[in-house]
Amino acid sequence: MPDRADQLFKPPFYLRNSMVQTWLASSPVRLAAGNPLSRCSQEVIVRAGEGVHLSGFLTRADGDAPRGLAVLIHGWEGSADAPYMVFTGSALVRAGFDVFRLNLRDHGGNHQLNSGIFMGTLIDETFGAVRNVAEEYNRSDSLYLLGVSLGGNFALRIAALCGKDMIDGLKQVVAVNPPLNPCDATVRLDRNPMIRRHFLGKWKASLRIKQKAFPHIYDFSHIEGADNCMDLTEDLIPRHSDCTSAADYFSRYTLKEGILDRAAVPVTVITAEDDPIIHAEDFRRAKVNGNVRLIMLPYGGHCGYIENLSMRSWLDRKVPELFLAD
């Protein structure tokens, strides 16, 4: 049964609309006063295995004895500098954690590092990157993983993979609004004009950057006619992967039986009943094991949980609390 955390997150009435919460989650309005981590972070290139390289930002906590290293993974078409990454990361640094904000392939301006395009199926390189970050930058014996939206889907797969190949020191995983069923999530985001326009525009822009980085490989001129994310997925996937269709592609990172019920480390999933992209019922039906805890909130939209007009999120308090309770 999901934990009901109403008493922990009760936004004022003017912030209860799910679309307001969803928009504010990644809105640049939250960074109007600047990025609190920009002056104290080091950009690094991360080895991810098989010749793949990703990028990210390392921020050290004060002192020589951090509470652990927290690795943060953003959502689709987000980045290490997304507001939800920056502010939760900043809260973790203040709580005594070293923080590494990872950029997935073709995110955060790292398109030139790898010739292949980003796909949600790229779990091996993400797992490899997290492991290598831990090996190279962890000053303690404890590692923590936070994934938001699609980053949460990756984080949950990593928790399951640790049953066969443990990442040393991994104590806990937190996944915020992870899509368990990415096909359904894509259908739902396409139904909302504002959300569809946001993701489709950012995706097309990313593909244009990729083409510019590798003009001898890519010609994405055909994408301009796509007016929704599902159609663009159906167009791209057979051309650039071994998947036969969008359905085949989505099935490969759907969190079905054999994922959440094989979580090898403690996992907390945080989601909202009013998420316009992720169906809350997916979590109620999910088969889990004793390592998985679900916090189901009535409000929050998709990755928002904005508490007040200061634009700070409840996640900035809750995630450090979860990691410190380990």
Partners of 172 in the β-ladder: 144
Residue with tokens 């490969």: 252
Joined together, the tokens standing for residue 316 give 């900035």
DSSP secondary structure letter of residue 54: E
Q: Among residues 55, 142, 149, 313, which one is catalytic?
A: 149
What token pair was written down for 129? 């990157």
Q: State both tokens at 140.
A: 């303690």
Distance CA 154, CA 68 (A): 21
Question: In the annotation, is 140 catalytic?
Answer: no
d(CA 255, CA 273): 19
User: What's the CA dihedral at 149, 155, 160, 161 to 10 degrees?
Assistant: 130
What type of residue sits at position 73?
I
Cβ neighbours around 251 below 10 Å, total: 15
List all residues 6 or more positions away from 275 whose beta carbon is below 8 Å from its beta carbon.
18, 22, 177, 300, 301, 302
302 carries an active-site annotation: yes
**Is 149 a known active-site residue?**
yes
Which one from 74, 111, 279, 302 is the annotated catalytic residue? Answer: 302
**Residues 290 and 282: beta-carbon distance below 8 Å:** no
Q: Check residue 163 and report its DSSP letter.
A: T
Q: 98, 106, 190, 275: which is the annotated catalytic residue?
A: 275
Strand ranges, E, within the chain: 3-4, 41-49, 52-59, 69-73, 98-103, 143-148, 170-176, 267-272, 292-297
Annotated catalytic residues are 149, 275, 302
